[in-house]
Amino acid sequence: MALATPLSTTRFPAAPPSGPADHQAGPDSPDHARAEELLAEVETCHDRWRQCELRQEAVALTLDLVDGVARRYHGRGMERDDLVQVGRMALVKAANGYRCGLGSSFAAYAVPTISGEIKRHFRDQGWLVRPPRRLQELRAEVAGEQERLRQVLLREPTDVELAQALDVTTEQVREVHASSMAYHAMPLDLCDGPGPTGDVRWFDDVVVARDALRSALVELSERDLLIVRLRFVEEQTQSQIGEVLGVSQMQVSRLLGSILQRLRAAMAPEVGGDRP
């Protein structure tokens, strides 16, 4: 008789396309009830391979939990198949860690685990709202050329100089800077949300705020973008920024205040009001 495959190496079929057929079984569904029985049996079983079989079967019966959670985060810049695969591995993790009789059903235990792993995946990928591929590629080129020109010029290169060196438009360079700063200026710990009920709304709020910031940054002048980049991306002090610009620390402070006031005003229509 063939040995059962350990649960950690289970291969899942590709995620089906999203659509009306997607559904999430209720907590009282026969499949979920059967999964509870299987996981309870795991705790009384002393055969390791049989435990793997039982957990595999429980996971197969509760895959709808993954579809339900992944659907919340679809459209945020990640392919649905990627979200589902991350979620299914999290479901395996939940099946391995679940203990019956501790007060919660397997579904109630698994959903926060799945949601947490998906949000961690977003964090590790680096973008909540993924920029177009061309912008991602250009961002890497701009970063490399920026460092090279710093060494040659012994100062910060202008957007015009970067554009000429890379044979792109100044507007494209500015768009790269805006996207980069929108990411760095709003650091997040995606693993600590307000809870399994409120975390999706909170996540949506963050996405809207970051998108609004990116749009507002594009409207800044080249000098203002440089100031924001030096302060919030490279974390230079106001005195250091003053040396780069050839102005006093007090002038930098006033410039920063003016820039932040304009950014807040530009973002207010999108993030200023309460969500329903």
Whole-model pTM above 0.95?
A: no
Q: Could you tell me the residue range of the domain that residue 91 belongs to? A: 29-125
pLDDT along the chain (276 residues), means of 10: 40 40 53 91 90 92 91 72 89 90 85 86 59 74 88 85 91 75 45 39 50 75 84 77 88 86 75 44
Q: Which of 84, 99, 125 is the last residue of a domain?
A: 125
Contact assessment for residue 91 and residue 30, using Cβ atoms and an 8 Å cutoff: no
Of 97, 125, 153, the one marking the end of a domain is: 125
Considering the domain architecture, whether residues 98 and 186 belong to the same structural domain is answered as: no
Is 1 within the bounds of a domain?
Answer: no
| Domain assignment present for 17 | no
Q: Are residues 110 and 149 in the same domain?
A: no
- 145 and 264 belong to one structural domain: yes
Q: Does 110 map to a domain?
A: yes
Per the domain annotation, does 207 fall within a domain?
yes
Q: Tell me the C-alpha distance between 124 and 127, whole Å.
A: 8
Does any domain span residue 55?
yes
Q: Say how far apart CA 233 and CA 251 lie, in whole Å.
A: 20
Say if CB 115 and CB 41 are below 8 A apart: no
3-state SS of 208-242? Answer: HHHHHHHHHHHCCCHHHHHHHHHHHHCCCCHHHHH
Same domain? 45 vs 120: yes
- Residues of 64-89 as b/e, b for ≥16 C-beta within 10 angstroms? bbbbbbbbebeebebebeebbbbbbb
Which pLDDT value is given to residue 55?
A: 92
* 162 shares a domain with 46: no
Res 260: pLDDT: 80
Residues 79 and 114 in one domain: yes
CA distances for 23 relative to 70, 109, 125, 194, angstroms: 12, 19, 27, 25
Pick the last residue of a domain from 108, 125, 142: 125
Question: Is 65 inside a domain boundary?
Answer: yes
> Does residue 247 share a domain with residue 142?
yes
For 51-72, the DSSP string reads: HHHHHHHHHHHTHHHHHHHHHH
Q: What is the pLDDT at residue 34?
A: 93
- Give the pair of three-digit tokens for residue 117: 């792993």
The CATH number for 47's domain is: 1.10.1740.10
User: Does 215 fall in a domain?
Assistant: yes
Same domain, 174 and 250: yes
**Burial of 222 (C-beta count, 10 Å sphere; 0-12/13-18/19+):** middle
Q: Are both 94 and 149 inside the same structural domain?
A: no
Nearest CA to 195 out of 269, 119, 144, 255 is that of 119
Same structural domain, 138 and 232:
yes
Is 41 inside a domain boundary? yes
> How many domains does the chain contain in total?
2
Instruction: Give the model's pLDDT for residue 208.
Output: 52
Same-domain check for residues 257 and 138: yes
Q: Are residues 71 and 100 in the same domain?
A: yes
